[in-house]
Amino acid sequence: MLGSAQVDGGLCAGCAVDAGLRCRSREDCPQEQDCHGPSASCGELWTCTTVNHCSAAAGHFYCACDHKVFAGAAGCPGRQFGTTLNVNGPVDDEEPCDPDNPEAFRLDVIVRGVGFEMYSGREVFARGLDPVLGQVVMWPNLSNVTDGGFQFSWHESFSPQREHYELQFYVDTNGNRHCDEGVDLLGGMQVTNTAAPGSDDINVQVSLDVNASFNFCSTW
């Protein structure tokens, strides 16, 4: 706890609560008070208050002034932040972010399939799952086998906090756009963070030899 209050433009320890304790998060405030201040402000401390500023709107992911992601309620995140993040998928608390950039930091994932000549013209469906959260983070995507291969691209989909995601794909051999175990060609592998320094791309190559016994159709 900061344990200090703003008096004549300065900070003093042990000043009265009603002087307005200065804070960076609600953990710096007395019990039953919240830390509140102007949105997107990292340049000055916020103030402890008993006023409830919370909104009934859905909460957000924010980028805190210490460059870490956190989840907070609308109107009362309880922690100073630089920006509200634009995210469509899951985000981890404390993962790196830029307080001046509303886009969560993500790496692009590019998957290329090779050696699929016998499936020329067939559609291929793929997705990526976060093994920690148990959620789809690279949303189902569609490609076609052309010249013996296919390609998928997911823009800004890989959190640098993760060591790997699980890639799953199937070649729709019967053309019904449905994942059918025992009929369609199913494949999968781990996608690891192999981005070169200074690069935003993770490049992955899959081939027929990565296929084993998969049974994910029931969850597709």
Percent of the chain with pLDDT over 90: 31
Residue 137 has pLDDT above 70, yes or no: yes
Average pLDDT on 95-101 reads 78
Question: Hey, where are the domains in the chain?
Answer: 4-84, 107-219
CA 212, 213, 219, 220 torsion: positive or negative? positive
Report the b/e string of 176-212 with b at 16+ CB within 10 A. eeebeeeebbbbbbebeeebeeeeeebebebeeeeee
Q: Backbone phi, then psi, for 111, in 5-degree steps?
A: -115, 130
Q: Supply the pTM of this predicted model.
A: 0.55
pLDDT given for residue 199 in this prediction: 62
For 164-209, give the DSSP string. EEEEEEEE-TTSSSS--TTTSEEEEEEEE--PPTT--EEEEEEEGG
The CATH homologous superfamily of the domain defined by 107-219 = Immunoglobulins (2.60.40.10)
Which pLDDT belongs to residue 161?
A: 60
DSSP string, 38-62: -SS--SS-EEEESS----SS--EEE
Min mean pLDDT across 10-19, 100-109, 139-148, 186-195 is at: 10-19
The most confident of 128-142, 163-177, 200-214, by mean pLDDT: 163-177
For range 149-159, the mean pLDDT: 80
